[in-house]
Amino acid sequence: MAADIRSELTALLRAALESVAPDSRDAAITLERPKQASHGDFASNLALQLAKPLKLNPRDIAGRLLAELPASPLVAKAEVAGAGFINFTLAPAAKLQVVRTVLGRGDDFGRSELGGGAKVQVEFVSANPTGPLHVGHGRGAAYGASLASLLDFAGYKVVREFYVNDAGRQMDILALSTWLRYLELHGSTIPFPKNAYQGDYVRGMADAIHQAHGARYRRDAAHVLDGAPDAATDAEGHLDALIANAKRLLGDDYAYVHNFALTEQLGDSREDLAEFGVHFDNWFSERSLFDTGLVDKAVALLEARGHVYLQDGAKWFRSSDFGDEKDRVVQRENGLYTYFASDIAYHLNKYERGFERIIDIWGADHHGYIPRVKGALKALGLDDGRLEVALVQFAVLYRDGQKTSMSTRSGEFVTLRELRGEVGNDACRFFYVLRKSDQHLDFDLDLAKSQSNENPVYYIQYAHARVCSVLAQWGGDEAALADADLSPLGNERELALCARLAEFPEAVENAARDYAPHLIAFYLKDLAGEFHSYYNAERFLVDDAKLRDARLALCLAVRQALRNGLRIIGVSAPESM
């Protein structure tokens, strides 16, 4: 509906422009919604654009355009405002059209063709499977899932992907941590490293191995510590030595311990995310990049294009040639590839899969990683503009006014599962996307649990439940309301609600363009606010059947828009509260 009205207003201005300034007939015509309702429903800056080429005062040009503007039943008033804007106020009947549009399109109201079916990959969460997901991961999960749904709703073909870091040092540390806890169950006196994974989940995995295999993986403590530097002076070197000893002592059995820990933690993450309403089309294994030779291929391609050099036995990528602060190692002197090398191969794979747009969602602390990845893509001869990185700031949880720390290695973290259990999935999903992703987020636990108008998710869901309650009291055929006579509507609150409904498709497109699902959350708050004001001011189940049905049709349209918006951000729409 809004698109049709925009097209009609654009056509009116184009006709006026043809008369006033035929030499500028191809000038771009834009229409924006004024921030203040008193300024009308749409505003155009066309006269300001024409001021320079016509060498006239913008207000004079605006006056001439208005004089030549064809009449339209959609427009109640058009006037010059400010420095030369043209403000349009729609006729009430034009505003009411949106109710018919919403009820006609139903679950598809607001759906856009903006994306044109372009194939887009959204990669998000991608947490190391070294422990339970914490509340920091939760924000990336909520944002990524909401963005993917938003882009899908805006006409893109979206593939959701989780990149499993199953080939790096962190997984070796987890395997070692699990094995050391297993050895403790067999009387080992090896001091547990402070920089190993400390959580109770590690003890749980060790106990499971013990229950299933008894003493099979037991080894002498002295051999485990053989050649390891003092942990007090070289903590990371100590840890690396223990990992090397574990691989040597366990031999082929090391793979079992490693894979058991990986499978347990990855399975836990899958289950946690599924319960959170976050689902992926692909779980992509980092290890597969090595198994298929893609890491070798990527580094060889960089070498062949002259972007790799040898220094101190290591291979370095000339990252500084592409805007990075310094060059980066892709293969160490011991022959092992760096994480950066596998990341280059992973992104090469994304391009090979034919995605027209690739969206990586990273923690804000990875900001410096962007130029080196984009630099590697340029070095490979790829269009780095197809890769876009959305940064997500950490979420800080406050309980009883106290900040809660989140450290996976130390085990002192609040899990996403614990947070969901305390405030519920809906509050989690909504609060996580209530701010722009790259803005700091303090998660107010007390507010998230409150049942008050100050709690935005409660406020929005309550608006939906109120509509359901009114319709249940009425007890009629909701489908019949699509054909209701809307002419009895027309008071200030009803027209304001219609104007707000008409903004939803625009909110979807604006949010999709900016990768900003928080704009949907803002829209829902505004729509709920308009409806609560209407609900408190008017009676719906009145004796006048025409007025009753018209108001119920408007309520039904509000309910549909709330449902569609809540679905995008992964929040339920309860029928009673």
Comparing 2-11, 315-324, 534-543, which segment has the lowest mean pLDDT?
Answer: 2-11
Q: Are 257 and 136 in contact (CB under 8 A)?
A: no
pLDDT at residue 404 above 90?
A: no
SS3 506: helix
Task: Report if residue 319 sits inside a domain.
Answer: no
Q: How far apart are CA 22 and CA 19, in angstroms?
A: 6
SS3 338: coil
Q: How far apart are CA 284 and CA 210, in angstroms?
A: 30
Residue where a domain stops, chosen among 68, 90, 112 = 90
pLDDT at 212: 97
pLDDT at residue 1 above 70?
A: no
Q: Are residues 463 and 557 in the same domain?
A: yes
Q: Which residue has the higher pLDDT, 404 or 306?
A: 306
pLDDT at residue 407 above 60?
A: no
Task: Report if residue 573 sits inside a domain.
Answer: no
Q: How confident is the model at residue 10 (pLDDT cuts 50, 70, 90)?
A: very high
Largest Cα–Cα separation, the chain: 95
Range of the domain at 479: 453-568
Q: How far apart are CA 89 and CA 79, in angstroms?
A: 9
253-303, pLDDT tens digit by residue?
999 999 999 999 999 999 999 999 999 999 999 999 999 999 999 999 999
What's the structural domain count of the chain?
3
* CATH number where 28 lies: 3.30.1360.70
Q: How confident is the model at residue 183 (pLDDT cuts 50, 70, 90)?
A: very high
Cβ count within 10 A of residue 287: 15
Task: Report if residue 194 sits inside a domain.
Answer: yes
Task: Output the pTM of the full model.
Answer: 0.92
Q: Residue 188 has what DSSP assignment?
A: -
Q: Are residues 547 and 457 in the same domain?
A: yes
* CATH number where 505 lies: 1.10.730.10
117-137, pLDDT tens digit by residue?
999 999 999 999 999 998 889
pLDDT at residue 250 above 70?
A: yes
pLDDT at 394: 85
25-41, pLDDT tens digit by residue?
889 999 999 988 888 99
pLDDT at 408: 52
pLDDT at 570: 98
pLDDT at 5: 87
Residue where a domain stops, chosen among 225, 240, 266 = 266
Q: Are residues 80 and 180 in the same domain?
A: no
Q: What integer is the mean pLDDT of 165-180?
A: 95
Q: What integer is the mean pLDDT of 567-571?
A: 98
Q: How far apart are CA 37 and CA 42, in angstroms?
A: 10
Q: What integer is the mean pLDDT of 424-431?
A: 97
Task: Report if residue 519 sits inside a domain.
Answer: yes
pLDDT at 412: 64
Residue where a domain stops, chosen among 73, 90, 107 = 90
Q: What integer is the mean pLDDT of 184-188?
A: 94
Q: By percentage, how much of the chain surpasses pLDDT 70?
A: 98
Task: Report if residue 51 sits inside a domain.
Answer: yes
Task: Report if residue 216 sits inside a domain.
Answer: yes
Cβ count within 10 A of residue 208: 14
Task: Report if residue 192 sits inside a domain.
Answer: yes
- CA neighbor of 78 nearest in space, from 105, 39, 32, 111: 39
The continuous run of DSSP H or E covering 302 comes out as helix 294-304
Task: Report if residue 29 sits inside a domain.
Answer: yes
